[in-house]
Amino acid sequence: MSPTSIELAHAAFQAIAHPILICDADNKIVMANYAAQDFFSTSESRLKRQQVDDLVAPSSPLLNLLDRVRGRDAGSREHRIPIANINMPEERLVDAHATPMTNDASLTVLTLIERTMADKIDKQLTARGAARSVIGLAAMLAHEIKNPLSGIKGAAQLLEQSAEEKDQPLARLVQEEVARIVKLVDRMEAFGDERQPEFSSVNIHEVLNHVELIAQNGFAKGMTISKHFDPSLPPVLGNWDQLVQIYLNLFKNAAEALGGQENGEIVVRTAYRPGISIGVPGSGNRMSLPLEICVEDNGGGIPEDILPHIFDPFVTSKQTGGGLGLALVAKLVGGHGGIVDADSHSGRTIMRTLLPVAKPKRGNKGKKT
pLDDT tens digits for range 219-263: 888 899 999 999 999 999 999 989 999 999 999 999 988 887 778
CA distance 366 to 202: 5
Query: What does the pLDDT read at residue 364?
Result: 44
pLDDT, mean of residues 323-345: 82
> Do 295 and 266 touch, CB atoms closer than 8 A?
yes
Enclosing H/E stretch for 255: helix 240-258
Whether residue 351 is predicted with pLDDT greater than 50 in this model: the reply is yes
Grouping H, G, I as helix, E, B as strand and the rest as coil, residue 351 is strand
Strand order, beta sheet including 20-23: 29-32, 20-23, 104-114, 92-101, 76-83
Torsion of CA 241, 341, 34, 105, to 10 degrees: -140
For residues 44 and 239, give the distance between their C-alpha atoms in angstroms, rounded to a whole number.
Answer: 43
Give the confidence band of 23 by pLDDT, cuts at 50, 70, 90. very high
pTM of the model: 0.57
When comparing pLDDT for 38 and 273, which is higher?
38
On whether the CB atoms of residues 343 and 350 are closer than 8 A, the answer is yes
Share of the chain above pLDDT 90, in %: 26
pLDDT at 162: 83
> What is residue 280's predicted lDDT score, i.e. its pLDDT?
52
**210 pLDDT exceeds 50?**
yes
The pLDDT of residue 127 is 55
What is the β-pairing status of strands 265-272 and 224-228? parallel
* Angle ∠(340,344,348) on CA atoms, nearest 5: 115
Q: Which amino acid is at 29?
A: I
**Beta pairing class for 20-23 and 29-32:** antiparallel
Confidence of residue 124 (pLDDT cuts 50, 70, 90): low
Q: What is the mean pLDDT of residues 158-184?
A: 81
